[in-house]
Chains A and B, each alone.
Chain A
Amino acid sequence: MSSAQTKPATHAHKAEIFCRDEQRVNWHSKALWTLREKRDRAASQVPEWETLRKLGSHIKQHSLSHLADYLTEFESNCIANGIQVHWAKDAQEHNQITHNILAKHQVKKLVKSKSMLTEECHLNPYLEQRGIEVIDTDLGERIIQLAGQAPSHIVVPAIHLKKQEVGDLFHEKIGTQAGASDPTYLTRAARAHLREQFLSADAAMTGVNMAIADQGGIIVCTNEGNADMGVNLPSLQLHSMGIDKVIPNMDSAAVLLRTLARNATGQLITTYSSCYKAPKPGGEMHVIIVDNGRSEMLKDKILAKSLKCIRCGGCLNTCPVYRRSGGHSYNYTIPGPIGIAVGAQHDETHSSAWACTLCGSCSFVCPTKVPLDKIIAHQRYLKAQAQTLPYGKRHYMPLVGKLMANKTATNCAMTVARTSLNILPHRLLKPFSGAWGQHRELPQAPKASFDTWFKHNRGQK
């Protein structure tokens, strides 16, 4: 889309382009809202739902507050189980470590199951440049990999594509019949295609949903079983996790597993929730623990709370802005409310923090009570402090502040505005009313303010 030199477009700009096709926006919004409705039904059937959210929040907050202890406990238990543990301070180190392991085993083909962390680290291009073929095995991930796109959602990464588009893509890439778009047909074709990949892979890599400190093992959740299919075939398995994934024990995992899938898709639990805690006989198991900015976020009390997230995607499904602007408009790997919370600092246009009305729906949906709207407001504050406000705010906000603080000036300005709205034809005012008048009728202005009415009708006081 844009070359390395040109600045990416703002969220508002990308969203405006997304909104031009209203039928598509309606379709996109409805597909995601359906997930929200399924979530509501699943959550409403658990009488202790709000208690589970509270527990989930406490578990994650507690783990983050004792992060160093739990990470070292996790590491020593992993080592005792025969797992090799690596620490990566950033994406570069993560990719190097991964490549070193794969190169040592002369891996030609790596099957990968869904991991937003490897997306965050841009692992695929790194390995491909070094001659290793990487196959994403989650169906949605494979679709966007074949399409050469980035995920637009953290749980349903190809949600932005219609089945006809997937049909055309599969026809071109894996030889399905031209024009075929039946989901069952396409899924079966994808399954056959992926089976070949699984069978010919030299190594498997997965993300990590939870790292269990007292077990020295990791939990991976998928619906397609692709993580297990990958891990159980070759002798070499790798698992990448952010430092925020560690939790104390299996009891903690039990709480989070009860909310994770319900909040994501309305399922009671993911089809496969697998715990890996040792290499296969004669094989190797590696866990790579990645910081990549997380400990920096932990230093900020408000941003730190975003690390409680368990990546269910519920906040994306409920977000009225995400549903109407698409996952590719946020200038970060992770879109939607959680994407703004953890990624606004990476947005060169500084606009993503404003892709939000602060409605708060995300914070109430969240299974670990991440205060997303508060974090997004805080990201705006950080932008203001760094003098990187978007949309001309740096220039007009001080003026608005001054005007609003001066009652006489506000009254004069608003009297002029009301008079103009009353006496001038609205079609004359429209060019000056910007985005408001483009989409909405201008307000019907009253003759006078409430202050004035009160003075006339209720005397002095």
Chain B
Amino acid sequence: MKSISIIGAGPAGIEAAAILAAHGMSVSIFEKSESPLSNITDKAFLFPNFADANDLAHKLAEKLKSPSITQHLSTEIVSLSRNGKGWTLKDNKGQSYSSDLLLLATGYTPFDAHRKEELGYDIYKGVVTSLDMERMIRDKAILNSIGEKPRRVVFLQCVGSRDEKSGNHYCSKLCCVTAVKQAIELKKQLPDTEAYIFYMDLRMWGQHFEELYRESQQDYGVRFVRGRISEASGTFDGRVQIKAEDTLMGLPLKMTTDLLVLMVGMEASVGTRCLAKEAGICGEYGFAQSIDPHMDDNLSAQEGLFLCGTCKRPMTIADTIADARSAATTILSLA
């Protein structure tokens, strides 16, 4: 049986590793962080069913315990090269690893909100990202900049997605429903706090997403405003003043809020960018390119190099896990 190296121990990498190991492959999985699944463990609950993110992380982590899987944590793969029919990887400490096959599961990184400076992230204390909000929800500590219960929270969609100015024309796909989910969580914890969501258009594409959107309005009183926020500024009492246009009313508006939550999009991670470039399989926006989105979505232009998960494009966790299984099937059928 052939050996395979998997780069990235997120849901994609782990799910594929587990299946391949179960079919007798010897699997090496590389993760640059100290622990796997760091992009799930910082979440509280998952849409659309409010499942506990920790549970999922646990279940996935369990799968890594197979004896045919060798874990290399804190190992950042910085280069890859062909080695006869197989592949050689090199990490940042200079160590090399060889295997017959290679699966890229290097994933995404959240958009760096500093790049939209007009929204004041890291400048005004009341401006946070959706990741910060998720942590606050998890810790049951949703507080404004002076440590008090917020009276109003504004969510802003499409920060770093569908935005020509930040260079990302694509939709990150899951921010719409995440904001709705977070607003509901907020209202569950703090029923008296007002929640506003500023959006361009709401893309409630998945199963139960539309229902969640309706629920948020009917049962929780979340208010939706169509329009983007053009700029934010701090007020003397540590709150945030936003300027926006309500495009349904056709009116400019100003609003003061305790928290401004930036729903940051997904970008190709540094690992995805570098390794896709090195392998010559660069697609748009630094993501890796598969051969065909319908039939060969796990194959790359390089023989023996497979792709799965958000190194290709933004995906939800459910999509990612399904894609990992599809990658495993593809690999097994070819190996």
The reply to whether chain A is a binding partner of chain B is: no
Residues of B participating in the A interface, judged by any CB pair closer than 8 Å: none
